[in-house]
Amino acid sequence: MKKPWSLSTTVRNPERILPFLKVLKEIEGESFDEKWQEKFQTLLIQNRLYKPTGLSEKHLNYYETSEDKMSFEQAEEIFQHMLSRSEELRNDKGLRGRTSVAPLTKMWLAIAKKTMGWVKITELGNAFLEWKADIGDVYFRFFLKWQIPNPDSNDYKAEDWYNINPFIGVLHLIEKVNEKSIEIWEKDKWLSKQEFSLFCPTLINFEDIEQYAEQIIELRKQQKDKDKKEQKEIFEEYKENFAQKFLESTDKVEVEKLLNNLKDYWDNAIRYFRLTRFIHIRWGGFYVDLEPRRQIEIQNLLRFDNAQAKDFEDQEDYLNYMADISQPTLPWETKEEYIKIVSNIVEDIKNYEANLGIAWKEIVKYQDFNESQLKDYISELRDYRRYLQNQENHEKSQEVEQINQYIEHLEKIYDFDDKPILLEKLSSLGLNALNDALGIKPNYPVGDDNEPTFTAPANTPDIECYYENFNAICEVTMLNSRDQRYNEGQPVMRHLRDFEVKNNDKKAYCLFIAPAIHRDTLNTFWTAIKYEYEGQKQNIVPLTISNFTQLLKILIEIKKSGNFLKHQEIGGLYDKIISSSKGFADSGQRLASIPNTINNWQKELKF
């Protein structure tokens, strides 16, 4: 029976890719037999990248020490605990290690298979480790080549009508639907999330792209001029019939299983495809479109590749292709196309500059550049455009209506998808709103629309804040259990210390925002606040999301009175929170005192 393609078993959690790869690098050159499969999994445990269930209090404490990682002997204890709880693992001790390495090998960041000799990090994998490629580059390179069927997997077979590169196929489908919508003068183009969910994961052959686009247009015609209730009824009936045709079965259990799976598959696909910067989300997240700022690249790609799966002689031939960072040649990597890309970005930049009322950036005579110089210049211009987009965010954030929206979204954070990403974005926007910062710099990767595609990388602060009199970092998390201390305690203090060293001309703070502050996290921070971290005290200000929204509500009152909150006042609040908690021995009392400290600070403001 046919099944839709899925990314959930292929790439798994993006945030785990880089740290897992770093650990695998430690055993590069070793044969990935059962012994080294076991060791790889043990090293993941040692580095606190994997935590099995059912751990004793003793084993849980291994994850909560102040060191960056537990001892190898402690990790071995936990690995043996895993074996004791699973007969399957006792019979195959390397199973968990093979499972953990699978996303790295499927994305061709590494070669780690018993049948293929020693562990090797590929060129793309090393570029990722050396920060010469970001997570968007990695996923783009992977999706550009990932096809079904392929010689390295038995999940999909050609005889079952599988023949597609899913990523490129989805780009073609969106393009076709846009073209056909324009032809019939339809107001709505793009793909709705419902349409994406039904048609994209079930697009398993490139020859069906045209037909699928026609089906989407026909479905829209059926729904046209109907009210929302009728539109929903039409769609529900349509997707039931569609699922039966796809499965070639009327079995209710199978049909319902397919439709339920599609809910998960489309969410993963959009999230991961967005990382490539070729997908744009419109209308508050309800529609999926091609990124308009990458039209030259996209149009060249669609002309160059019809989404048909390529033929390979054998598995080795396929693996060599996947591991070769120079393949395929990107069709826009010519001087002529690079010049078009530069021209489009320059036009975009001038529009931002005009709207912001700032002087135009000097544009060099790029027409004389060679391909390599043009590529570098494109990167420089995109960085500058992001700077302008951040400036635009700062200006918009000064509006009371915008601040109210930030508060509303923060208070309903659990209602949204991708909550960690949204919390970083809202925290950044809220910090922009609060005062006269010289610059608020979020470190999350973004698309060309400046919308975050993922959370900030693990080796940097989530947000950097620069002021005239002091500087700060902001770290956010959606964790509120005891895992919060393990994931955030040491990294937050380390990020702050690195930031202090790098910007040693001013006092530095760390704002830590979470739904709730776990007592273990608070006590960890308290040691650094009251005593020291690496020999010096630190200024860490723990705030719940509720505390942060309290600040934004105070800001609205100040703005409505015609006044402006300066960064010196915020710095004063940070000092009050740190000093006022010194009178409490109990961590719970320290945390409970923060709302009162904020209220007293508000009363002292001279507005």
Residues composing the chain: 607
Q: State yes or no: pLDDT of 187 exceeds 70.
A: no
Check if the beta carbon of residue 209 is closer than 8 Å to that of residue 169. yes
Q: State yes or no: pLDDT of 477 exceeds 90.
A: yes
User: For the residues 42-55, what does the mean pLDDT come to?
Assistant: 92
420 preceded by cis ω (within 30°)? no
To the question of pTM greater than 0.95 for the whole model, the response is no
Token pair belonging to 587:
């961590």
CA 558, CA 573: separation in Å to the nearest integer? 15
Alpha-carbon dihedral angle through residues 418, 424, 428, 429, given to the nearest 10 degrees:
20
User: Lowest-pLDDT range, 270-274, 290-294, 508-512?
Assistant: 270-274
Domains of the chain as residue ranges with CATH:
14-133 (no CATH), 164-308 (no CATH), 335-390 (no CATH), 397-604 (3.40.91.50)
pLDDT digits (tens, 9 = 90+) for 1-28: 789 998 765 556 777 888 999 999 999 9
pLDDT digits (tens, 9 = 90+) for 118-136: 999 998 899 999 888 888 8
pLDDT digits (tens, 9 = 90+) for 337-396: 999 999 999 999 999 999 999 987 899 999 999 999 999 999 999 999 999 999 999 999
pLDDT at site 277:
94
Q: 441: which strand partners?
A: 464
Question: Which pLDDT band holds residue 530 (cuts at 50, 70, 90)?
Answer: confident
User: For the residues 75-97, what does the mean pLDDT come to?
Assistant: 93
Alpha-carbon dihedral angle through residues 334, 339, 340, 341, given to the nearest 10 degrees:
90
Burial class (CB in 10 A: 0-12, 13-18, 19+), 412: exposed
Q: State yes or no: pLDDT of 165 exceeds 70.
A: yes
Token pair belonging to 526:
């308290």
Helix (H), strand (E) counts: the chain: 26, 10
Q: State yes or no: pLDDT of 459 exceeds 90.
A: no
User: For the residues 429-445, what does the mean pLDDT come to?
Assistant: 93
Q: State yes or no: pLDDT of 238 exceeds 60.
A: yes
Nearest CA to 178 out of 287, 80, 270 is that of 287
Nearest CA to 405 out of 259, 301, 553, 538 is that of 553
The DSSP call for residue 359 is: P
CA 196, CA 266: separation in Å to the nearest integer? 7
